[in-house]
Amino acid sequence: MEREENIERLIQTLKDDDELVQTQAVGLLEEIGEPAVELLLVSAEDNDKEIRKGSIRVLGILGDARAVDVLINSLKDPNKWVRREASTALGNMGDPAVDPLIITLKDEDWRVRGGAAWALGKIANKKAVEPLIEAMNDDSGFVRGGAAWALGNIGDERSIEPLKIALNDKSSYVKRVAEKYLKKLD
């Protein structure tokens, strides 16, 4: 019981005004590890965005597969920094997150699809190549940019043709990413 209370106090510290205090809380929660996961999963849905963001950061560091669904749900958070932290955390989860992220590439929200693409690129599992190639046709430049970066980061030869096509994308960012990775892949 005392351990749980200590974990809860540390989680509340994630909303401290002092960034150093927040960083120390993250480090201590990371050190506690697995015993903190259940409370962090609950806190990832807290009303306070700083608690959500910090909890998600720790869950990503711990890499516990139980966090995948909560992290994917956090891609829909109203706060962009929480969404960004969720995408980063999912990228740290590795293979257990690949299939759920591939499904998430079809979400109705472009921010969620984009976050999924970026996370898949960080994981760099070749299983994501074909779904990411499909994402290169997304209406959102954010999603196409994430997909182009992910394909380039994965480095599979199936990515070459879609990246060549992306050289004519209407988004200058997508074009630059495609150009960078085509040079790397050749």
pLDDT, one tens digit per residue, over 5-32 is 989 998 999 999 999 999 999 999 999 9
Q: Evaluate if residue 156 carries a pLDDT over 80.
A: yes
78 CB neighbour count, 10 Å cutoff: 7
**Cβ(132)–Cβ(118) below 8 Å:** no
- CATH number, residue 74: 1.25.10.10
Residue 88 and residue 174 in one domain: no
pLDDT band at 80 (very low <50, low <70, confident <90, very high): very high
Residue 77 and residue 118 in one domain: no
Residue 126 and residue 146 in one domain: yes
What CA–CA distance (Å, rounded) separates 107 from 94? 20
Q: Tell me the pTM.
A: 0.87
Q: Strand ranges (DSSP E) for the chain?
A: none
* C-alpha separations of 89 from 1, 4, 21, 30, 181 in Å: 28, 23, 21, 13, 24
Determine the angle formed by the axes of helices 80-93 and 49-62, rounding to 10 degrees.
10
Residue 61 and residue 125 in one domain: no
What CA–CA distance (Å, rounded) separates 151 from 181? 8
Residue 20 and residue 53 in one domain: yes
Q: Would you state the pLDDT for residue 184?
A: 82
Residue 136 and residue 181 in one domain: yes
Q: Which residues form the domain of 84?
A: 1-93
**Cβ(150)–Cβ(180) below 8 Å:** no
Last residue of a domain, one of 61, 78, 93: 93
Residue 102 and residue 186 in one domain: yes
Closest CA to 116 of 72, 177, 61: 72
Last residue of a domain, one of 93, 124, 146: 93
Residue 106 and residue 89 in one domain: no
Could you give the 3-state DSSP secondary structure of residue 43? helix
Residue 157 and residue 89 in one domain: no
Residue 32 and residue 116 in one domain: no
Residue 80 and residue 136 in one domain: no
Residue 54 and residue 80 in one domain: yes
Q: What percent of the chain has pLDDT over 70?
A: 100
Q: Would you state the pLDDT for residue 183?
A: 87
pLDDT band at 185 (very low <50, low <70, confident <90, very high): confident
**Number of folded domains in the chain?**
2
